[in-house]
Structure formats: C-alpha cells, structure tokens
Structure 1
Amino acid sequence: MNRVIKVALLLLGVVFIVLQGFAYKAEGDAIGTLMLVLLIVMYLKWTEDKNRYFIGFLILFSIGHLLDFYSWYGPAIDEGNIDYYYYGVNILSILSYVFLTIRFASKLKFKKVFAELAIPMVILIILDIFCVVLVTDTTKGALLSAHEYALEFIYNAIIMTLLSVALITYMYRNDNKSMLFLIGSICIVFSEIIQLAYYYIVVDDKELGFIYAFFLVVAFVFFYLQSQLPFTGPQPSYSEERLEV
C-alpha cells in the first residue's frame, strides 16, 4: 500500500506540474490538495518518529490549498471588497511555514550555535532583510492595499527565515536530515519567488508555471525524505566538546 501511494504521488506530481504550467489553476489546486492529503496519510501511517510540528505544517498547507481550490467555486468577491480567500490562503501558508521553521529551530542550542557561527548568522540576517524588501517591492505595483503589501512582506520574511534556519541547522549538524531539509527549503524559496513573478509580474507565463510547480513538488519530496531520518549531528566540528574549549 505504501508503494502504491508513492507511485500515485509521483504521477499526481507530474499532472500537477503540467496543469500549473498550462494555467489550469483550479484543476492544479485540486490535484495539489489530493497530493497533500495522500502525503499526510503516508506520513501518519508509516512514519515511526512523528513530529507534531511537521504534521501541523502538512495540515495547514493542505487546508490552504483546499481553500485556494474552493475560491474558484465559492461565492465571488466583488471588486473593492476584502478578498478573504487571498488573506486566508496566505495566512495558512505563513502558519504552515512557521510550524516547519519551529520544528528545526527548536532543536538548535542557539547560545552554542551563535558562539560558533556568529558571523554567518549576522550576514544571514542582513541578507534576509535585503531579500525580503527587494522581493516584496517587485509586487508593490500589483498589490491593492497596504494590508496586502504587509501580508506579502510577512510571507517573504517567514520564507527567508525558514531558509536561514535550514542553513544554520545544516552548518551546525552537518547530517543527512539537515541536508535534505536545506535542499527542500531552497526549492521552496525558488518556488515562492517564481510564483510571485507568475502571479504579479509575467501573468500566466507557461514556463514560469512549470518551474514554480516543479520546485514545489521537489521541495515536498525532500521534506518528506528528511522526515524519515533522525538527527545524527552535530558533527565533531560543531560538537559541544569543541564549543566548551
């Protein structure tokens, strides 16, 4: 059964990428929601060491996709009114990424990490601020209100925080689980940035649709793979013994 679900997810992933690439957004959202539900079932049934934060990430992200799908068939939002679908989907996505970030950040001993990686952490914070401002400003002309701009800013800030935590975790632990999480986080960042261009800059560009959907699918592949591995770090170069020297 486990193998059947994996094959189904692989096939659905290809269908999702194709649908998003050809701008069949409603159908793509439906397939994406089904994929996430199957992923949750597979994680809960066949994962020995389950993590509540990772489960929360999967559930919230799934609900966000389901709401996005419902927006195509639910009551229409009149022009000038608050787009509750837009806010709901983005808030759910933000919360899901917060859960994923907490899942790894909670395993870091920040005093020891900062003592060993102070300069890289400071550089990461500066780069995060620069990237968040730069990326958010590219959508400024397409956003209708200050609230939408603030939401996009927070969204991008959470994404960059996720990537920074993934990088710091890998630098600290240097194990396979952290490496897979870092690769997945990089793919998520690429997917989200390309998705911004897909929706706000070069609207419905087929190539961008294929690319952002591909990175999203690959990101979840790596997130699931890391969820099946235990932490084995930190490696000697960042071990407690060295930090206490």
Structure 2
Amino acid sequence: MTTEKTMGKPNQQVFSDTLLDLAQNDKDILVVTSDSRGSGKLVAFGETLPEQIVEVGIAEQNLVGLSSGLAAGGKKVFAVSPACFVTIRSLEQVKNDVAYSDRPVCVVGISAGVSYGLLGSTHHAIHDYAVLRCINNIDILAPADNFETEQVLRALVEHPRPAYIRLGKKAMPNLHDPATAIFEIGKAIQLRPGTDLTIISIGEPTPHAVDAADLLAKEGISCRVISMHTLRPFDRDALMDAALNTRAIITVEEHSVNGG
C-alpha cells in the first residue's frame, strides 16, 4: 500500500547518491562511464572517489568490455551510459562478456524511455526490454520511484550479478512509505488493492497508473495497481493472482508494444 504521494528526486540522482554512500565504505565498487558523468549525476562521485570511477569516453563497447574485465578481477562494477546506446551499440558485449560470462556487472541505462525528448528517435530507448529479454542470465530492473531505486542498488551491491537497470531523468513522486515497504528483486509490489481491474506497471510510468486507479475509484471501479519493478526474474505469482481475482489486466510501460 502507498501513502499520499510527495515529490522526490530523479531516480538517476538517487542512484548516484546511494552509490556514492555505499562506495565510500566498499572499495570494490567501481563506476565505469561513457561520457556520462554529467548526465548520469556522477560528478560528485568522481570528485569524492576519483580512484573508483573510470571514464572511457563515447565508446560503449569498451565500456562494457572493460567492466567485464574489472568484474572478473573481483570488482562490483556499474557501467553507466544512455540506455539508447548501451543496449544497442554494445549488445554483443552485454551478451557475451556480461551475461554469458556470468560477470557481476550492472549495466545502468540512464535517460531511458523518451527521457531525451526533443533529441528525437536516435536518443529514445523504447527497445531495451525487448532486446535484453532475448539474452539469458541478466536481470532486468526498472524502479518506479526513489525507494525502489535505492533498494535495487543496495540489493545488487550486496549480491552482485549480471543486471540492467533502467532510469529516467524526471523527478519522481514517492509511491512507498520506506518505513513499511518491503522490497525484493523479483517480487512485485501491490500499490493499490482492487477486484475489478489490475494495472501492472513497470518503471517510471507507475505514478500515472496510481493516478488512473484513483480516478477509476471515483467511478466505482476497484482497481489493483502492481509495481512490476523487475521484468526478469518475473513475478508470475502476482500476474496469476491478478488474472484469477480481477476481471481484466492492463499493462503500462514506456516501451514499444513489441517485446515489452
């Protein structure tokens, strides 16, 4: 269940703030970035921990290959780059050097979805779920708010493994009460109960799903809302329960209808 929404920070900012906090006490945490210190909110990280960040320039294939090598040496590596490029230009390296080699690299796709706005289709990332779902042995994560972003990051630092996190640019409403919310990778979170309809949302469109449910409630429609923050491993139990106990399911995602 959620509390009344308040406005938080951009998930990218929460990611960088949390990573800096964790990295100050864990020298095995490394950030590798492809010309993304500014856009990835990593300036403070680089200034505070210059020996724990590597800049490869606009070279996404090198970004992932280098990250895999560092992970093979025992490091917990976060490879940060715009989602539109890192999931296409370096796909071979993600497949072979990270997923199939089982290297604990977290590929962080920043400015995902249509976050880049007027920069146009070259910079939009509405393909990443489809592309990465075809590759085995890589978790796919899209946190909906600041709480989910922090919890995803802490979980991956504690248990490093091949993963992809999708983050957008806008400040996000807070959907959870951190004092009571429980987060686990692979376990969806119910934000609203309901019996007529279920909205299953992944990632940053989720606040809109909550708003829609609240509007439907005023019309007498009981709408369940599920934050499916993890696309892989997928919470089949949450989906089956919705199918059995509500009369319809709508999915919400910032992605092409093909392969999402």
TM-score, L = length of structure 1: 0.29
Q: Which has the higher helix share?
A: 1
Q: Which has the higher strand share?
A: 2
- Greater C-alpha Rg: 1
TM-score, L = length of structure 2: 0.28
